[in-house]
Amino acid sequence: HTSLPLVINTWPFKSATAAAWHALQSGGSVLDAVEEGCARCEVDQCDGTVGFGGSPDETGETTLDAMIMNGNSMEVGAVADLRRIKNAIGVARAVMERTEHTMLVGESASVFAENMGFVAEDLTTNESLNVFSQWLKGNCQPNYRKNVSPDPSTSCGPYGPKAAQTQCNGERQVNIHSHDTIGMIAVDKDGHMAAGTSTNGLSHKVPGRVGDSPIIGAGAYADSSAGAAAATGDGDIMMRFLPSYLAVELMRNGADPSAACKSAISRIKRHYSDFFGAIICANTTGHYGAACNRVPSLTEFHYMVADSESDTAVLKS
Ligand code: SD4
């Protein structure tokens, strides 16, 4: 199967696929496609896990991670722990195109974004406030701190006692409901590739936590001479293995995209057999594939594909 151009993205985020496809069809570059596709999810708040108003951290704030990579020039722009700016993928692209840098983080990334004309807004919504207060009421489960000594004088929150008392022995509770991300790959008819991600990360994370999504080679990777990949899932685990980079290198060495995706997932499984995660891969000829780690919270991984055969966003699993 090969019918360039091609857009693929993680999860059934159809509006994002359609936006990216539209960008390509109207003469945009693969970078435009990835930016516009991910930006659509940021506006639509796909699954509550992309963009504003989702995944409040331990203090109730939503922060965003995003990256975009040009597989021709190997330029990358990334932002992590971005605050108060809704269009994280846009800021990532501005880092790439308007600085000599690759990644900006936290408050300083937000100041940069404002200087670039992005509007500062509250990322909190009634829904994210509600998720946060339910979490407080439910004794802060899940939480992501280990070895916290109980301090009965404070309540839930950073280093709080409830967090310590209710800790599931360090066991993490990541699932499809607390944890998603858009990862997208675009390939034009000449085989030019770009990849990107956008996410609000992980609910109830420790403030300052950065996931895999903005990490080059972890969340996504693109090299127009080999292939492109994008990952989703438990970023704290997945980033230790650079699965997107690995998949691209396997394709460079001749693996077909499905096999490359499977190997990247297997590598992580060797150490974390029950991690939650999936990856999508494409090569320069427009062949694509995907793989996920089959666990109770992820029995089937759905992703979207648009190519010249379908000329529209099609759900695959
Ligand atoms: C993260 N990888 O921040 C992101 C979240 C995700 O499916 O992809 N969930 O860990």
Q: Specify whether the CB–CB gap between 123 and 83 falls below 8 A.
A: yes
CB of 202 sitting under 6 A from ligand 1: yes
Which pTM was predicted? 0.91
What end-to-end distance do the CA atoms of the chain give, in Å? 16
Mutate to test the pocket of ligand 1, among 181, 197, 206, 272 (most ligand atoms within 8 A of CB): 181
CB of 233 sitting under 6 A from ligand 1: yes
pLDDT per residue over 132-146, tens digit each?
A: 888 888 877 777 887
pLDDT exceeding 90 applies to what percent of the chain? 71
Which entry of 10, 17, 181, 284 is annotated as an active-site residue? 181
> Radius of gyration over alpha carbons of the chain, in Å?
19
- Which residue's CA is the closest to the ligand 1 atom numbered 8? 232
Give residue 164's pLDDT.
Answer: 37
Q: Give ipTM to 2 decimals.
A: 0.95
For residue 70, report the distance from its CA to the centre of ligand 1, in Å: 21
Pairing, β 314-316 against β 303-307: antiparallel
| Token couple for 264 | 């990247």
Beta strands in the chain (DSSP E): 6-10, 64-70, 76-82, 103-105, 182-187, 193-199, 220-223, 227-233, 277-283, 288-292, 303-307, 314-316
